[in-house]
Amino acid sequence: MRALLVVNPKATATTARVRDVLARALGSDLKVDLAETQRRGHAIELGAQAAAEGLDLVVVLGGDGTVNEVVNGLLRPLDAAAASPADEAAVRAALPALAVVPGGSTNVFSRALDIPHDPVEATGHLLDALREGRSRRIGLGRADERWFTFTAGIGLDADAVRMVERARAEGRNASPTRYAWAALRQFFRGTDRRHPALTLEIPGHEPVPGLYLGIIGNTSPWTYFGDRPITVTPTASFDAGLDLAVLRKFGTIGTLRAAAGMFGAEGIRGRHVATWADLSEFTLRADRPMHVEVDGDYLGEREGLHLQAVPAALRVIC
């Protein structure tokens, strides 16, 4: 079996020791090439190269951002495939499988797959899965042209991601506390809380105007605050369509109450919260540019976002 090990050396919990232990362990069972990412977007290129060369497996040592990039590279052949189900099925069957050893600060995707949080334990878990032939196919989401594994968002959460990425560029860490403070700061100082910009369009239904933000879930929980799960769309699953949570009002008390629900199993809640589950396709259209994120990576400003659920898009070793 031919495999590529993609390592993000700048990921929070990734060290040279963990990289070397993982490479040696994989090398005992696989023919492994090692590649370290050098810049943003490099993992997309590495994933695409692995798919083009017909490798059997890509292992990612890094955080959710690196995983997202590799997935977007791996699925390039699917983007280019003809629309017929037979062609898509053939392309999916030929794609490399994905495995993840967590090396970031939060590692939402690997936790959703019940992969141990400790990199050394995760390495042993991966080797056992390979020897026992354990794998599963999971559904993914698409936000316009970008694939995502666990979440996408337009509005306040993307604003916070953008602020944290700026802080990381200045050498500061991307802790859960920093995300929380960024969201609070943006809410009180940088968000128009009187003029909602978003309209939800679901095929076959009347448009839903007057929305302030949209958070899309492909699994649950949405993220973690340390070891504590943060839940927005509790029914979201890799085996179903996309779930969506929106806010119709952006007042201080109502929004804080809605956010408090994220620390419980029921997820975001309140009179001004609306949710939809198991959607196959929808659009969040904006009347002004709004920030967008996928899997915790900032994508830039968009005047809307088209979302699509893609069942059984990728095989993962877990």
The tokens for 313 are: 């898009």
Residue 145 in any domain: the answer is: no
Per the CB < 8 A criterion, the answer to whether 149 and 316 are in contact is no
Distance CA 21, CA 225 (A): 28
Answer yes or no: are the C-beta atoms of 168 and 174 closer than 8 Å. yes
**Could you list the pLDDT tens digit for every one of the 318 residues in the chain?**
999 999 999 888 888 889 999 999 999 889 999 999 999 999 999 999 999 999 999 999 999 999 999 999 999 988 776 556 667 788 888 999 999 999 998 999 999 999 999 999 999 999 999 999 999 999 999 999 999 999 999 999 999 999 888 877 777 777 777 878 888 888 888 788 889 999 999 999 999 999 999 999 999 999 998 889 999 999 999 999 999 999 999 888 888 888 888 888 888 888 899 999 999 999 999 999 999 999 999 999 999 999 999 999 999 999
Q: What is the pLDDT of residues 12-52, one digit of tens each?
A: 888 888 999 999 999 988 999 999 999 999 999 999 999 99
Give me the pLDDT at residue 82, please: 56
- Verify that 307 and 163 share a domain, yes or no: yes
Same domain, 122 and 205: no
> CA 34 to CA 20: how far, in whole Å?
10
Asked if residue 247 is part of any domain, the answer here is yes
Number of domains in the chain: 2
163 and 300 share one domain: yes
Same structural domain, 171 and 45: no
In angstroms, the Cα distances linking 90 to 49, 81, 93, 182 are 18, 9, 5, 44
pLDDT tens string 71-95: 999 999 887 765 566 677 888 889 9
Co-location of 93 and 221 in the same domain:
no
User: Is the same domain home to 156 and 114?
Assistant: no
Which residue among 134, 164, 180 closes a domain?
134
Q: Is residue 111 located within the same domain as residue 155?
A: no
The answer to whether 214 and 183 have CB atoms below 8 angstroms apart is no
- Are residue 85 and residue 186 in the same domain, yes or no? no
Q: Is residue 262 part of a domain?
A: yes
Strands 97-102 and 57-62, sheet pairing:
parallel
Q: Choose one of 103, 134, 165: the last residue of a domain.
A: 134
Q: Residue 263: which CATH number?
A: 2.60.200.40
Instruction: Indicate the pTM of the whole model.
Output: 0.92
Structural domain of 220: 151-312
Tell me, yes or no, whether 185 and 242 share the same domain: yes
CATH of the domain at 102: 3.40.50.10330
Contact yes or no for 280/136 (Cβ under 8 A): no
